[in-house]
Chains A and B, each alone.
Chain A
Amino acid sequence: MLSFISFSRPTDSTYHQSTRHHPDVEGLMDVDDDDLTGSEPRLTCPGETITSSQAFMRGHGTYVDKEDVIASVAGTVERVNKLVTVRAIRTRYNPEVGDLVVGRITEVQPRRWKVDANSRQDAVLMLSSVNLPGGVQRRKLESDELQMRNFFEEGDLLVAEVQAFFSDGAMSLHTRSLKYGKLRNGQLVTVPPILVRRLKSHFISLPCGVDLILGLNGYIWVSKHMKDTDQGEEGFDAEAVYSNKNEDIDNATRAAISRVGNIIRVLADHFVPLTDSLLLEAYEWVIEQEGDAKYLLLGDAGDALVAAMSVRG
């Protein structure tokens, strides 16, 4: 079966080189780039004047110098009534309360863990905000403080929710839900955080036997599908939740996991926002191509995937 796809956008667009002119004539050739059409998002560079500070309030990504509101990052201008903000096109994760994040333990400290969550500082996971073995209602004891490494160790991956902020802007996480906790049976894929939008659910189950956790911080966990055990609060199984051992994963599942991982990597390279339906379509497309898991990373396969997805979308 043959299928035709349109040409993809040139991928070497990251490369900038144009004809240089003598400084004397440079000014004459300058095109006035201020005439932007209304519907296009307005782009900024650091140090670019956006508007007057008399009529507008400055938001994130801007600063005020004398009478002007000036952009401090490269991105798009957004306006809500009198508030002008610039949203940077690529940046670290900016946490908000209630966000679902995937993180990695970097340090074990007294009564708390430090978690790398792709933010500007390491997040904090307090011992009091994790589920301890022996029931949700159980209070923490001295002995729990002494055996914190039994729950989470350095390098462990976990999924958690942003609970609050400290005064210096660091975020505090919690895993007090059966959905959250330690991660195993899969692999981590990192993408720019802007590509993960807020969805109805960030736990996605693909029909190919793969579970996805789309962390809003750009960390994505791709793992083997776990059976939904309808256990109530009482059925909290500490042994399973804090286990460091992977379950048996058959070869087909392993291939599916790496295929999904590679799809995400390719889409992220092309700066395509991720959604569950898109990932599903992409997976079907890859299966149609009958390549193995690494096929996507070779040659033009990635470009073809993105082009095919654009046509369908």
Chain B
Amino acid sequence: MSSRIELLNAGLLRSDGRRPYELRTLSINFASQGTADGSVTFSHGLTEVRVAVLGPREAKAGSRRETLHDRATLNVEVQLAPFGVGERRRRGRGDKRLLELAATIKSTFEPVVQVHLYPRSTIDIFIHVLQLDGGLLPACINGSTLALATAGIPLFDFVCAIAGGVHGTQPLLDLTTVEENDIPSIVVGVMPRTGRVTLVQMETRLHMDRFEEVFRAACDAGKVLWSEMRDALRERTSDLVEALEAGPGAFAAKEVEEI
């Protein structure tokens, strides 16, 4: 025990100085990435992911069989930078863990994206993990939500995901790698408008009596994340609208009636 890092000290501070319910710094960068329709670089503390969304577009020749006549298909690909992870290891496309992660993200977004509007198309979500310090799945999901929104793809709602765990009897939020390795944890993805939960993932064993407390804390944290993500998106939208209307030689700004 003594050789291990103390996850929560007597003063209820965690190994990185946070309080149990404190989230890590969030940063959201909407800089465009190549030809992507929507893109975002999203980081929770030291975990950083780049998400690019392309589509809705015609499926590539190889995967055209999988398109559906009544809705769009989602295609998620996750790549882990070898330098971004604790142990340096090359992971190919066929890495089971990454495939599972991609499948989880896909099933999280299937009920959220309005796929019925785009028959026979695909929406590609490409995720590059640049740095990893715990909370991989939440960062991927939050990043994808914003990237889909910036690509102008209709969503029923945001999805805000966060990891939660229990140290002794104390619930913790937004776990780092050190914490993730040691304590039982869950990942919760909520749709903040309705409070509906689209994702709960549990890879470790967690005591039944503790589950509810962590789950509720994670749902609340999801709403906090939402307000940040929404503000960031709104800021970008207003910047673009401003540029569009203030642009030289712009057409007379259309009068929009207030509802």
Using CB atoms and an 8 Å cutoff, list the residues of chain A in contact with chain B: 9, 13-18, 20, 22-23, 26, 30, 33, 36, 38-43, 45-51, 56, 61, 63, 65, 70, 72-79, 84, 88-92, 106-107, 114, 116, 120-122, 168-170, 190, 194-195, 197, 270-273, 275, 277-278, 281, 306, 309-310, 312-313
Contacts and interface: CB of A to CB of B under 8 A. Distances in A.
Given A42-B256, A90-B150, A74 B233 contact: yes
A313 B157 contact: no
Contacts of A33: 234
Contacts of A271: 240, 243-244, 247
B77 interface: no
B233 A76 contact: no
B224 interface: yes
Contacts of B38: 90
Nearest to A80: B257
A77 B259 contact: yes
Contacts of A43: 234, 237-238, 241
A265 B23 CA distance: 39
28 contacts: A14-B30, A14-B31, A16-B30, A16-B231, A17-B25, A18-B231, A23-B221, A38-B258, A40-B256, A42-B259, A61-B154, A72-B156, A73-B153, A74-B152, A88-B152, A89-B152, A89-B237, A90-B150, A91-B152, A92-B37, A116-B58, A121-B120, A122-B58, A272-B243, A272-B244, A273-B251, A281-B249, A310-B248
A42 B157 CA distance: 18
B191 interface: yes
A169 B154 contact: no
A42 B259 CA distance: 9
Nearest to B24: A20
B240 A47 contact: no
A20 B26 CA distance: 8
B22 to A, nearest CB: 6
B114 A63 contact: yes
A278 B237 contact: no
CB-based closest 8 A-B pairs: A313-B248, A91-B152, A88-B152, A47-B157, A72-B154, A16-B232, A309-B248, A272-B247
B57 interface: yes
A63 to B, nearest CB: 7
B56 interface: yes
A268 to B, nearest CB: 10
B21 interface: yes
Contact of A84 (B22, B153, B259): B259
A71 to B, nearest CB: 9
Given A92-B37, A169-B119, A273 B250 contact: yes
Contact of A47 (B32, B35, B156, B244): B156
Interface residues of B, number: 74
B239 interface: yes
A217 to B, nearest CB: 12
A195 B239 CA distance: 15
A219 to B, nearest CB: 12
Contacts of A70: 156, 193
A123 to B, nearest CB: 9
Nearest to B123: A120
Interface string B93-133: 00000000000000000000010001111000000000000
Interface in B57-94: 57-58, 61, 69, 72
B164 to A, nearest CB: 13
Given A46-B156, A313-B250, A89 B240 contact: yes
Contacts of A270: 243, 247
B224 A46 contact: no
B55 interface: yes
Contacts of A278: 248-249
A14 B37 contact: no
A45 B234 contact: yes
A278 B247 CA distance: 10
Contact of A120 (B26, B56, B69): B56
A269 to B, nearest CB: 8
Contacts of B221: 23
B237 A74 contact: yes
A168 B232 contact: no
A198 to B, nearest CB: 10
Interface string B144-167: 000001111111111000000000
B69 A168 contact: yes
A74 B247 contact: no
Given A45-B230, A90-B38, A15 B56 contact: no
A41 B37 contact: no
A88 B152 CA distance: 6
Nearest to B249: A278
Nearest to A49: B193
Nearest to A313: B248
B180 interface: no
Among B231, B232, B247, chain A packs the most CB atoms within 10 A around the CB of: B247
A46 B149 contact: yes
B235 interface: yes
A75 B237 contact: yes
A40 B23 CA distance: 34
